[in-house]
Chains A and B, each alone.
Chain A
Amino acid sequence: VQLVQSGSELKKPGASVKVSCKASGSTFSNYAMNWVRQAPGQGLEWMGWINTNTGNPTYAQGFTGRFVFSLDTSVSTAYLQISSLKAEDTALYYCVSGTNWFDPWGQGTLVTVSS
């Protein structure tokens, strides 16, 4: 499978953003789709995952409420929506496939929150 993410976003505080992750090369409903955040100059933080078969999401602590994982299986695409954006949401967001280890990764989407 290959994962291709949407392009960079520049948003104002309080706005929302929706990042897409399109899968190709394999049956979309056969795997787990994870989301990983990397703040500027920082390490990797697992945000949670969504079951591409059932659509059931699991969120890590700290990523509940404003963060929503969703799917559109008709176009083999996963989404990460973040609402009420804050400056500290500025980061690279990666989608990545896998249950016990993560492979392959999308190329990352930079979300910048600035007034």
Chain B
Amino acid sequence: DIQMTQSPSSLSASVGDRVTITCRASQSISTYLNWYQQKPGKAPKVLIYAASSLQTGVPSRFSGSGSGTDFTLTISSLQPEDFATYYCQHSYLYPYTFGQGTKVEIK
């Protein structure tokens, strides 16, 4: 199975900060990489698919990059509603696996 490792596991940031979360796959997955946001008590929602495509309705402050084994989710200017847990997930082959999550907290 392909293992997905996110870093950091958690971070504290202030409103307006630029935030970067990384995700590393245990083998090359091309650009079959998705990012999800989950707020407490809510289902996850997709932010970025295919490594860098912004899902419809998602603010443009979110961006994704990378290919192969190394990927990045960037929030250009953190907003109050962005405090949540973020997960990467590959869809290269079955079984699809998620990273362990990165919790973004208020500083």
Q: Which positions in A face B, CB cutoff 8 Å? A: 34, 43-46, 48, 58, 60-61, 94, 96, 99-108
Contact = CB atoms under 8 A, between A and B. Distances in A.
Contacts of B36: 44, 102
Contacts of B89: 44, 46, 101-102
Main secondary structure of the interface of A (DSSP, over half): loop
B34 to A, nearest CB: 4
A43 B95 contact: no
A96 to B, nearest CB: 8
Main secondary structure of the interface of B (DSSP, over half): loop
Interface residue range, chain B? 20 to 34
A78 B43 CA distance: 18
A43 B100 contact: yes
Nearest to A45: B98
Contacts of A96: 43
5 contacts: A60-B94, A100-B32, A104-B45, A105-B43, A105-B44
